[in-house]
A = this chain, B = another copy of it.
Amino acid sequence: MTVTTHAPPLVVADLDSAIRALRERGLRISTSRRLVLEALFAAEQPVSAEPLARDLGLDPSSVYRSLETLERHGLVRHVHLGHGPGLYALVADRELEYLCCERCGAVTPVEAERLDPVRAQIRAQFGYEACFTHFAIVGLCRSCATSAATAA
């Protein structure tokens, strides 16, 4: 994902509208592109390229290429929740950002607007317009924070 500066989000409700949107952009709908899209629509959580490739019987490089194309067109985004591969997800009607517990690995997706107060705080204090779509907010979830405090 050489995509550093993200494309404007292109929200699609289902596979058909995704395909329509891609056609409008002059992209071809190859079998593997369709398969990747289907898998992303079926996924509950962000997924990495490798299992996608394995499950779909595609070459990893093709999956990476498809994901990159979809990301470049704003249908897909990838997040890093920690070390390990990037995880890909469709851009939903409400953009999602993630909180991730570095101890238990819990992943909490939240609608971007719910992080606006946090962003406002950061903007006011540091002048940065923060975006948590690429790097998750990492830390300890409530229960891990509690047990860590108890242990201390």
Question: Interface of A with B (CB < 8 Å)?
Answer: 1, 4-5, 80, 82-83, 99, 101-103, 108, 110, 114, 117-118, 121-122, 125-132, 134-142, 145
Residues of B within 8 A of A128 (CB): 99, 101, 108, 137, 139-142, 145
* Distance to closest chain B CB from A8 (angstroms): 9
Stoichiometry (number of copies): 2
Partner of A129, one of B4, B82, B139: B139
Q: Considering only CB atoms, which chain B residue lies closest to A3 in the complex?
A: B83
Q: Considering only CB atoms, which chain B residue lies closest to A136 in the complex?
A: B135
Can you report 24 A-B residue pairs in the complex whose CB atoms are below 8 A from each other? A4-B82, A4-B83, A5-B102, A80-B80, A82-B134, A99-B122, A99-B128, A99-B130, A114-B125, A117-B121, A118-B121, A121-B121, A127-B141, A127-B145, A128-B140, A128-B141, A128-B145, A130-B137, A130-B138, A130-B139, A131-B140, A134-B138, A135-B135, A135-B136
